[in-house]
Amino acid sequence: MTVSKNLFGVMPDGKEVYEFTLENNNGMKVSVLTLGATLRSIIVPDKNGNEKDILLGFDDVTGYLERSSYQGAVVGPFANRIGNGKFEMDGVTYEVIKNEKDVTCLHAGGEFSFAVWNSIIADSDAVEFTYVSPDGNNGFPGNVTVSVVYRLGQNNDLHITYKAVSDKKTPISLTNHAYFNLNGYESDTVLNHVLKLECSAFTPVDAFSIPTGAIRSVEGTAFDFRAEKTIGVDIDKDEEQLQLTGGFDHNFVIDDADGTLRKCAYAFSAESGIALYAYTTLPGVQFYAGNFLEGEIGKGGLPMQKRSGFCLETQYYPDSPNKTQFPACFAEAGEEVKSETVFTFETVKD
């Protein structure tokens, strides 16, 4: 196992951005940037023994700053959306940034994703990133100290451990916004990928992608991934929820979530032979099929086409601060909030 560190680029203000690369004995490599604590690449062997970088991303700092839709970035202090850019907590209404259509708060305004984090090599197989979000930034209460540790195991398992503590009560939900394409970032579609979700329900949304508050069974809908099926088979079905979001972009309710680490998703590409298993301690996972990618130029100068990457964003449910029926996302002052997500990769040969 090795960990190396190299200069990746420089921010407009002159701050340096570094890239850490973790490599295990199987030749799997994971690189992470100090900009956004961003997963920049995951390289695994395909069924023919060729190295495949299965993450969408960019070749330089400018790409991440100017063309990013959160590719690989850590998102917080509250991931996903908050309706009408406000929430009430203990009788006080908090107005937060409305950075999506001047209506919703998306990914807390991108604060964590576009900040340069402090970093250390934490172990022979791990890198730790830390960041402090100041009280009141983008309207969120509390000075929030965050730690994200990426650890690469010898079984091609990437562990992401999140810790956060605030000096004021505040909502916290942290995730990573990696876009996967198991055929490699060069491929222009994930519609041929097989997906299975350990989720019997999802949270339907309104026209602004804010959960209505209902928890709906997937039975008889395009959202039923309890048995393996390709991402593309139902994505364009004539269902209102798909039309509202241009395809899959919804929070799925993980079955029997109890705060322990459990499997929530499986994806596989027969073309590459690469399989992905996702595990989390969190109650929800946002399955997003890259509906709003519009040809942004990414790695190797190649465009990221619509539906050329998919996301499995482990999380508390969107708009949880406004939905008391959803799992509670508020952290008390001084309370350490911890979660873990694991992505494990396997290569299946013909």
The rounded distance, in Å, linking the Cα atoms of 24 and 58 is 23
Structure token pair of residue 147: 């730690």
Q: Report the distance separating Cα 348 and Cα 337, nearest Å.
A: 36
Residue 174 contacts residue 77 (beta carbons within 8 Å) = yes
| The one catalytic residue among 107, 159, 177, 250 | 177
- Region at 327 (left for phi over 0; alpha for psi -120 to 50; beta for the rest): beta
Encoding tokens for residue 348? 């299946």
Listing from the earlier edge strand, what are the strands of the sheet with 16-23? Answer: 2-10, 16-23, 29-33, 38-45, 51-53
Q: Catalytic site residue 177? A: yes
Residue 171: what are its φ and ψ, rounded to 5°? -80, 135
Reported as type and span, the H/E element at residue 240 is helix 240-245
Q: Which of 111, 128, 198, 313 is catalytic?
A: 313
Give Cβ neighbours of residue 224 (< 8 Å, ≥ 6 apart).
218
Cα Rg of the chain (Å, integer): 19
Annotate 147-165 with b (16+ C-beta within 10 A) or e (fewer): bbbbbbbeebbbbbbbbbb
- Give the C-alpha separation, 330 to 219, whole Å: 31
Amino acid identity, position 252? F
Element (H, E) at 63: helix 61-66
**Angular region, 334: left φ>0, alpha ψ -120 to 50, beta rest:** left
Give catalytic residues, as residue numbers: 177, 313
